[in-house]
């Protein structure tokens, strides 16, 4: 392949450059090899009209060549010309005239070579240009689309227009000259003006992108200066005479080097300030700047060589800019999506809490409505027993021995005492308000509780000649509200007495069933069908049925029992068959987690306790270290959660006291505090020597639901 040619404005005569406007002839003699292959010439834009002669014969004219300005007509088309039947010695002559451009003659390179190589080369240039054009078009549309999605991201809007400005330059000025080859020569002036507009648009938009990504408002003067420069540049391009347009616009093109240098300086400042992605931006800007400076100097005849270096290294600039801006926008989208999801979740949580709150209020109202009936029912039961004993004594007084009279009087006295105890218990279980049941947790064994219940109810069973059999061998310890569970067992055993026949037995037995402790109350009474059992667990209050001796009840007792058991995460199962009796099975989990929550803030403690209970924790609450130590003297929970700052005894002092008395009993501790330093820090714990028992420290700034989740997952 042979390359030749140069522009005459780069030549000098008597020490001065030759003038741009005029007429010249280029001659080239080429010695060809003997292989006689078909050759071709690839002729770029020759400024600005030319005739091609091969061996003295005119083969092509581009534009109208003339020594006279009024006859000359420029053309910016490129051409591939096949040379057939040429001899070994090839003589080329090119006549060029120029009256419309600052550059004159052979500015770009003529290629001579085998026809397949020439066409392949031209094809490669076109393909490369169209790939870049397609890529830029897609990037431009992509950034406009991002701007439509998010109007506040103006950087994407500016980058979209930057790509359009570069797109115009490539379509018109890159080696393929796509726009000029597409339209006829009559549009040459319009297309030249259009090609010159691409650079100022690109400079302004690149400045806006740089300002948007890295700079602050103190550099806003640069935007104003750039805008003034761009307006003057565009006005000069649009309205300058065609003969002077190339020379005048080149001055603005040369000044663009200053803006490029300023952009580099500001980007270096951003790198020094460690602005995000500034180093990547600087690298890409350096590459595009070198290409742009080279093209500017090339167009001004200061350097020679390959044109379009700046266009083809655009990828090194555009891809990083798109990456930087896209990542920034998607990070914003991601943050907004996370915030939106959190808001949706918060709204769902709020709706769920409102629903739960509503259900709790409805349940509390049902409790209040039912409590009076339960109190009268449970108070009446022992008093009826006393009344029946006194009736027997009254009617058989004369025939009753003194020993039996004393026995009846003792039973009556015990029944009255049981009524007083029951009154106190019933007042104890009235500890509920709009919040529902208020549990007062303590640690006790079920055997003692059941012995007390049997002792209370034995006079009633005796009157009906029913035997209560307690079959509990182990001393199983649980943490629960003793008064409320006592009420549950009294209610169920009382119902068993009510629906049992005289001279029968009621067995209260303990069974171990896997992870559950089961207390079974079995009678041989009238029993129930499946519909009756379903009504007990249903939403409506079941109607009370008369007992085997016509005893009446409120029908509310079992409903309250279910609520109490639910608050203890216990289960009630009923097995019954009409005519054969019933078995009420109360199951307590062996694996229930209990936590002692120590915090002086009632609102915070109640909120955290509520969230923990939702996650199946039994919560014992204390307001300070002294109350916590009092609880620990009676209860051994699975976990301790304590605040740092509390009156009377703070969290640190409480833990030191507990450490001194706990012996070998290990209970893990979660330390919470409003102190920000504690949100990640174990320094305080280590310095106090409490790191052996404190397993976790959490800031109270963490949302309560997240804290409860974290605690539950850690201490399964």
The SS3 of residue 69 is coil
**205 and 288 together in one domain:** yes
Residue 132 has pLDDT above 90, yes or no: no
Among 303, 305, 311, which Cα is nearest to 3's? Answer: 305
Where among 91, 118, 145 does a domain terminate? 118
Last residue of a domain, one of 556, 589, 622: 589
Assigned domain for 386 exists:
yes
Is the same domain home to 172 and 252? yes
| Shared domain check, 307 and 175 | yes
Is the pLDDT score of 51 beyond 90?
A: yes
Question: How many domains are there within the chain?
Answer: 4
- Pair 599, 584 in one domain: no
In a domain, 533, yes or no: yes
Q: Which of 380, 369, 376, 365 is nearest to 433 (CA)?
A: 365
pLDDT at 80: 92
CATH number of the domain where residue 672 is located:
3.40.50.2300
Provide the pairing of β-strand 617-622 with 593-598: parallel
* Predicted confidence band of residue 65 (pLDDT cuts 50, 70, 90): very high
Which residues, in sequence order, are CB contacts of 589 under 8 Å at separation 6+? 515, 516, 517, 569, 570
Computed on alpha carbons and rounded to an integer, the radius of gyration of the chain in Å comes to: 49
> What count of Cα atoms within 13 Å lies in the side-chain half-sphere of residue 595?
26
- 257-284 mean pLDDT: 76
For residue 705, name the pLDDT band (cuts at 50, 70, 90): confident
CA angle 241, 244, 249 (to 5 degrees): 100
**Residue from 510, 485, 455, 480 nearest 560 by CA:** 485
Question: Which of the pair, 197 or 309, is modelled with greater confidence?
Answer: 197
Say if residue 542's pLDDT is above 70: no
Burial of 689 (0-12, 13-18, 19+ CB in 10 A): exposed
Residue tagged 């218990």 (tokens)? 425
Give residue 221's pLDDT band: very low, low, confident or very high (50, 70, 90). Answer: confident
pLDDT at 553 over 60: no
Asked if the model's pLDDT at residue 380 lies above 90, the reply is: no
The residue among 371, 377, 374 whose CA lies nearest residue 436 is 371
Is the pLDDT confidence value at 467 over 80? yes
Instruction: Write b or e for each residue in 36-46: b if 16 or more Cβ atoms lie within 10 A of its Cβ, otherwise e.
Output: eeebbbbbbbb
What integer is the mean pLDDT of 542-549?
A: 73
Interatomic CA distance for residues 3 and 688, integer angstroms: 85
Q: Is residue 344 part of a domain?
A: no
Query: Is residue 342, in this structure, part of any structural domain at all?
Result: no
Structure tokens at 233: 């540049």
Q: What is the pLDDT of residue 521?
A: 92
Stronger pLDDT, 543 or 679, i.e. the higher one:
543
| Cα atoms in the Cβ-side hemisphere of radius 13 Å centred on 259 | 28
Same domain, 42 and 60: yes
Q: How far apart are CA 525 and CA 534, in angstroms?
A: 19
Q: Which has more confidence, 517 or 316? A: 517
581 φ, ψ (degrees, to nearest 5): 105, 180
CATH code for the domain of 72: 2.60.120.260
Q: Are residues 325 and 464 in the same domain?
A: no
Domain boundary among 335, 370, 391: 335
pLDDT of 676 reads: 47
Q: What percent of the chain has pLDDT over 90?
A: 8
Residues 6+ apart with CB under 8 A from 447: 472, 473, 474, 475, 476, 510
Q: List pLDDT tens digits, range 2-36.
A: 444 567 777 778 888 888 899 999 888 888 877 77
Burial letters for 156-175: b for 16+ Cβ neighbours within 10 Å, e otherwise?
bbbbbbbbbbbbbbbbbbbb
Alpha-helical (H) ranges within 509-667 are 530-537, 557-567, 602-614, 625-632, 651-661
The per-residue pLDDT for range 367-376, each reduced to its tens digit, is 555 655 555 5
In residues, how long is the chain?
A: 716
* Pairing status of strand 593-598 against strand 639-643: parallel
Q: Are 436 and 364 in contact (CB under 8 A)?
A: yes
Are residue 571 and residue 615 in the same domain, yes or no? no
Q: Are 7 and 13 in contact (CB under 8 A)?
A: no
Residue range 675-703: mean pLDDT, rounded? 70
Q: Are residues 88 and 131 in the same domain?
A: no
Domain around 63: 2-118
pLDDT at 3: 45
Peptide bond before 48: cis, by omega within 30 degrees of 0?
A: yes
- Dump strand ranges (E) for 188-330: none
- Helices marked H in 396-441 — which ranges? 402-428
Q: Identify whether 282 is part of a domain.
A: yes
Co-location of 100 and 171 in the same domain:
no
Average pLDDT over all residues of the chain = 79
Please check the confidence at residue 66 and state whether its pLDDT lies above 90. yes
Instruction: Tell me, rounded to whole angstroms, the distance of Cα 107 from its chain centroid.
Output: 58
> Angle 8-10-15 (CA atoms, 0-180°, nearest 5)?
105
- Residue 101: phi, psi to the nearest 5? -145, 150
Q: 280 and 383, same structural domain?
A: no
Distance from C-alpha of 234 to C-alpha of 317, rounded to nearest angstrom = 24
Residue 222 reports pLDDT greater than 80? yes
> Is the pLDDT at 604 greater than 90, yes or no?
no
Residues 441-462: tens digit of each pLDDT: 788 888 889 998 888 888 888 8
Q: Is residue 345 part of a domain?
A: no
Which segment, 436-450, 470-484, 495-509, is predicted with the most confidence on average? Answer: 495-509
Residues linked to residue 53 through DSSP beta bridges, in sequence order? 58, 93
Query: Which of 38-52, 276-290, 661-675 has the lowest average pLDDT?
Result: 276-290
Would residue 368 count as lying in a domain? yes
641 with 653, same domain: the answer is yes
**Pair 13, 92 in one domain:** yes
Q: What is the mean pLDDT of residues 52-75?
A: 92
Instruction: Specify if 347 maps to a domain.
Output: no
Question: Which pLDDT value is given to residue 434?
Answer: 38
pLDDT for the residue 431:
52
């Amino acid at each position: 392949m042979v390359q030749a040619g140069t522009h005459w404005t780069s030549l000098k005569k008597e020490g001065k450059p030759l003038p741009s406007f005029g007429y010249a002839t280029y001659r080239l003699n080429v010695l060809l090899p003997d292989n006689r292959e078909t050759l071709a010439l690839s002729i770029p834009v020759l400024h600005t009209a030319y005739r091609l002669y091969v061996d003295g014969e005119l083969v092509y004219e581009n534009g109208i060549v003339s020594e006279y300005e009024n006859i000359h007509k420029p053309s910016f088309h490129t051409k591939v010309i096949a040379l057939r039947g040429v001899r070994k010695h090839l003589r080329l002559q090119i006549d060029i005239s120029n009256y419309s451009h600052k550059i004159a003659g052979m500015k770009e390179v003529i290629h001579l070579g085998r026809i397949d190589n020439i066409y392949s080369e031209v094809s490669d240039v076109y393909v490369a240009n169209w790939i870049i054009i397609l890529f830029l078009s897609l990037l431009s549309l992509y950034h406009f689309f991002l701007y439509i999605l998010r109007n506040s991201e103006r950087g994407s809007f500016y980058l979209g227009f930057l790509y359009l400005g570069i797109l115009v330059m490539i379509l018109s000025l890159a080696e393929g000259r796509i726009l000029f080859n597409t339209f006829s020569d009559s549009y040459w002036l319009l297309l030249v003006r259009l090609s010159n507009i691409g650079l100022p648009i690109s400079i302004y938009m690149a400045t806006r992108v740089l300002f948007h990504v890295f700079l602050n408002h103190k550099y806003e003067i640069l935007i104003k200066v750039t805008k003034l420069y761009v307006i003057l540049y565009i006005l000069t391009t649009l309205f300058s005479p065609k003969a002077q347009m190339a020379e005048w616009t080149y001055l603005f093109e040369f000044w663009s080097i200053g803006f490029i240098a300023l952009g580099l300086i500001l980007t270096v400042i951003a790198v020094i300030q460690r602005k995000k992605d500034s180093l990547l931006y600087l690298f890409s800007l350096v590459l595009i700047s070198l290409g742009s400076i080279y093209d500017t100097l090339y167009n001004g005849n200061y350097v020679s060589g390959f044109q379009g270096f700046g266009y083809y290294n655009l990828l090194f600039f555009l891809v990083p800019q798109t990456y930087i801006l896209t990542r920034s926008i998607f990070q914003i989208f991601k943050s907004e999506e996370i915030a939106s999801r959190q808001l949706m979740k918060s709204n769902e949580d709020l709706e769920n809490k409102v629903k739960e709150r509503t259900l709790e209020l409805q349940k509390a109202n049902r409790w209040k409505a039912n409590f009076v009936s339960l109190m009268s029912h449970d108070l009446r039961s022992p008093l009826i027993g006393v009344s029946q004993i006194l009736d027997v004594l009254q009617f058989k007084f004369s025939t009753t021995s003194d020993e039996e009279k004393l026995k009846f009087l003792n039973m009556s006295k015990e029944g009255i005492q049981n009524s007083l105890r029951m009154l106190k218990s019933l007042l104890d279980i009235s500890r509920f308000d709009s919040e529902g049941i208020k549990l007062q947790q303590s640690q006790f064994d079920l055997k003692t509780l059941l012995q007390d219940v049997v002792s209370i109810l034995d006079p009633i069973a005796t009157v009906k000649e029913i035997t209560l059999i307690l079959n509990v061998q182990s001393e199983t310890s649980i943490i629960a509200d003793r008064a409320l569970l006592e009420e549950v067992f009294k209610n169920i055993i009382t119902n068993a007495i009510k629906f049992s026949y005289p001279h029968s037995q009621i067995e209260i037995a303990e069974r171990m069933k896997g992870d559950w402790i089961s207390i079974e109350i079995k009678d041989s009474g009238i029993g129930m069908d499946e519909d009756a059992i379903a009504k007990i667990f249903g939403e409506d209050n079941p109607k009370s049925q008369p007992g085997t001796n016509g005893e009446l009840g409120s029908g509310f007792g079992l409903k309250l029992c279910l609520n109490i058991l639910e608050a203890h995460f216990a289960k009630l199962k009923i097995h019954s068959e009409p005519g054969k009796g019933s078995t009420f099975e109360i199951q307590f989990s062996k694996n229930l987690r209990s936590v002692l929550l120590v915090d002086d803030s009632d609102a915070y403690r109640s909120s955290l306790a509520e969230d923990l209970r939702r996650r199946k924790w039994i919560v014992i609450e204390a307001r300070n270290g002294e109350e916590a130590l009092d609880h620990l003297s009676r209860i051994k929970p699975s976990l301790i959660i304590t605040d740092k700052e509390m009156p009377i005894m703070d969290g640190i002092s409480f833990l030191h006291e507990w450490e001194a008395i706990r012996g070998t009993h290990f209970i893990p501790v979660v330390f919470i505090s409003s102190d920000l330093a504690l949100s990640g820090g174990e320094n305080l714990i280590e310095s106090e020597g409490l790191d052996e028992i404190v397993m976790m420290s959490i800031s109270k700034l963490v949302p309560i639901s997240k804290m409860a989740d974290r605690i539950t997952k850690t201490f399964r």
